[in-house]
Amino acid sequence: MGEVHAEAYLLAAGVLLIISLVVSRLGGRLGIPGLLLFLGVGMLFGNDGLGIQFQDYGLAQAVGTVALCFILFQGGLDTNWAKTKPVVKRGLSLATVGVLVTAGVMAAFTHYAFGFSWLTAWLLGAIVSSTDASAVFSVLKERNLGLKGDIDPLLEFESGGNDPMAVFLTVGILELIAHPERGVLSIAPLFLEEMVLGAVFGLVLGRGALWLLNRVQLQFEGLYSVLTLALALTIFAGTAVAGGSGFLAIYIAGVILGNADFIHKRSLINFHDGLSWLMQVGMFLTLGLLVSPSELLPTAGLALACALVLVFVARPVSVYLGLANARMPLNEKSMVAWVGLRGAVPIVLATFPLLAEVPQAQTLFNIVFFIVLTSVLLQGTTLTLVARWLRVREEIPARATYPISYTPTGHNKNEMVEVEVMHGSRADGARIVDLHLPPEALVILIHRAGEFLIPKGATELLAGDSVLVLAGDEELQEVRGTLGTST
């Protein structure tokens, strides 16, 4: 009986994953964010739907925590530090001042409008105060949406950096609710300890992970995926056990690895990209199963009011205050304000009061879930429209999917990159042999009008061709100058 029971759970998990992925594909064509559909599938199969009974808030919290660990790690791996470095100051401001302002505005609104006690109001504000890394990363990827200026790196850095702040605020306020005799200032030393230890552990263990990856010689390539998975868990959990912020540490470690060279880097990043998507789907499905739509209805009016205040008041105020001293056009600041999606993080944080048996915890959970649904539906479906209206949208050229890939090994500094032949450049209409490219640069494939051409010396390049080149950094600069600079 036990084996049948376990197999039934595995069958349900497999079917839910398949349905979620198929539905997300259909939703993508309609402009509906996949995250919303994952939640919807979970709710459809839950208590009020097809009847899967799931009310284990502790398990949901554990699933969410592990998922966020790998999502933040992948977010760090994808972070381009050269682009992110100029926005670090602004990102830190949004991740600290922005979170506090958002929590404060929401606390004031729920206290004066609905009579919540100040601590309960601040608890709700803290839970919904951070933008969700998984929501922001996935929606931008789904939309293939590029944003002008520094908006992209700022949003990614903010969403990866403000989760630790929201977690700390939530836990800190729960401590004050449990021990009201303690003052607000009593949690300040704990905040400094968590942030400092999180940053230090992230830097040290991130560099240690890089050293280990490049020194250890495993027998099979597949074992490196297991190693990076183990390293991520060790960095996250080890930092948390030591009293630091595991979320901050794992994000910093991901940034360090993502901007360094290590063995099998491309295949490992692809592995963690797939793992990140699995974590996102699993997390949103689990949280969807946790909710009964019938329980949302009694708080729908209150929750909708909170959601609208969050989207149209709290988030814009926090962004404009957080970026008050930043030299950034108003339309770009406004776009940052609109992309403040709430996702799984607030729902996971909303399980903390339930497990702590805080009064009104179930009401808070239902309000938070409704806020997340409204945020993803309202903001997630209008990103492209708002970006176009604010004139910050940047077209991302569609890249060809090449039939070959290249994975550097050892200390090989070569890269395989795609370079487009620009109209009027030296390469436009010229034979490859006549371009006198560096001997160390190898033209591997040419993508033209949907077809791949095997290059020869006499092959003539045309404007619009995408040329796949293998070379080192210096040679690539010369190749880009030849193919991409107009004469």
Q: What is the pLDDT of residues 294-305, one digit of tens each?
A: 778 888 889 999
Structure confidence at residue 140 (pLDDT): 64
* CATH number reported for the structural domain that contains residue 456 in this entry: 3.30.70.1450
Q: Which residue has the tokens 């930043």?
A: 326
Whether residue 3 is contained in a domain is answered as no
Question: Is the domain of 388 the same as that of 420?
Answer: no
Instruction: Specify the pLDDT at position 202.
Output: 94
Q: Note whether residue 406 is domain-resident.
A: no
335 shares its domain with 225: yes
pLDDT > 80? residue 219: yes
- What pLDDT is recorded for position 486? 45
Do 336 and 446 fall within a single domain? no
Rg for the chain, CA atoms, rounded: 24
pLDDT for 411 equals: 60
* Same domain (yes/no): 356, 463: no
In-domain check, residue 30? yes
Say whether both 334 and 458 belong to one domain: no
**CB-based contact 54:344 (threshold 8 Å):** no
> Per-residue pLDDT averaged across 221-235, rounded?
93
Q: State which of 394, 424, 456 marks the end of a domain.
A: 394
Tell me, yes or no, whether 316 and 223 share the same domain.
yes
Last residue of some domain: 338, 361, 394?
394
The rounded percent of the chain whose pLDDT value lies above 90 is 25
pTM of the model: 0.81
Q: Is the pLDDT of residue 487 over 60?
A: no
402 inside domain:
no
pLDDT classification of 120: cutoffs 50, 70, 90: very high
For 53-110, how does the pLDDT look when each residue is reduced to its tens digit (9 = 90+)?
777 788 888 888 898 899 889 988 988 888 888 888 998 999 889 999 999 999 999 9
Report whether pLDDT(443) > 80. yes
Give CA 124 to chain center in angstroms: 23
Residue 63 lies in a domain: yes
Angle at alpha carbon of residue 358, lines to 352 and 361, rounded to 5°: 70
How confident is the model at residue 4, as a pLDDT? 47
Are residues 303 and 213 located together in one domain of the fold?
Answer: yes
Give the chain as a 3 state SS string. CHHHHHHHHHHHHHHHHHHHHHHHHHHHHHCCCHHHHHHHHHHHHCCCCCCCCCCCHHHHHHHHHHHHHHHHHHHHHCCCHHHHHHHHHHHHHHHHHHHHHHHHHHHHHHHHHHCCCHHHHHHHHHHCCCCCHHHHHHHHHHHCCEECCCHHHHHHHHHHHHHHHHHHHHHHHHHHHHCCCCCHHHHHHHHHHHHHHHHHHHHHHHHHHHHHHHHCCCCCCHHHHHHHHHHHHHHHHHHHHCCCCHHHHHHHHHHHHHCCCCCCHHHHHHHHHHHHHHHHHHHHHHHHHHCCHHHHHHHHHHHHHHHHHHHHHHHHHHHHHHCCCCCCCHHHHHHHHHCCCCCHHHHHHHHHHHHCCCCCHHHHHHHHHHHHHHHHHHHHCCHHHHHHHCCCEECCCCCCCCCCCCCCCCCCCCEEEEEECCCCECCCCCEHHHHCCCCCCEEEEEEECCEEECCCCCCECCCCCEEEEEECHHHHHHHHHHHHCEC
Distance CA 231, CA 240 (A): 14
Please check whether residues 375 and 479 belong to one and the same domain.
no
Whether 152 maps to a domain, the answer reads yes
Do 160 and 86 lie in one domain? The reply is yes
Residue ranges making up the domain that contains 284: 17-394
Q: Assess whether 96 and 237 both reside in one domain.
A: yes
Determine the Cα–Cα distance for residues 435 and 261; give it in Å rounded to an integer.
30
pLDDT tens digit string along 262-320?
888 888 888 998 898 888 888 888 878 887 777 788 888 899 999 999 999 999 999 99
The mean pLDDT value of the chain amounts to 84
Same domain, 199 and 305: yes
- Residue 30 confidence (pLDDT): 62
Per the domain annotation, does 456 fall within a domain? yes
Q: What is the mean pLDDT of residues 103-122?
A: 94
pLDDT tens, position by position, 138-192: 666 666 667 777 888 888 888 878 888 888 899 889 988 888 777 777 777 888 8
Q: What confidence tens digit (pLDDT) does each residue in 352-400 have? A: 898 888 888 889 988 998 998 898 888 878 888 888 898 887 766 666 6
Q: Is residue 7 part of a domain?
A: no
Total domain count for the chain? 2
407-429 pLDDT, tens digit per residue, is 666 566 777 888 888 888 888 88
The CATH code of the domain that includes 321 is 1.20.1530.20
Both 423 and 390 in a single domain? Answer: no
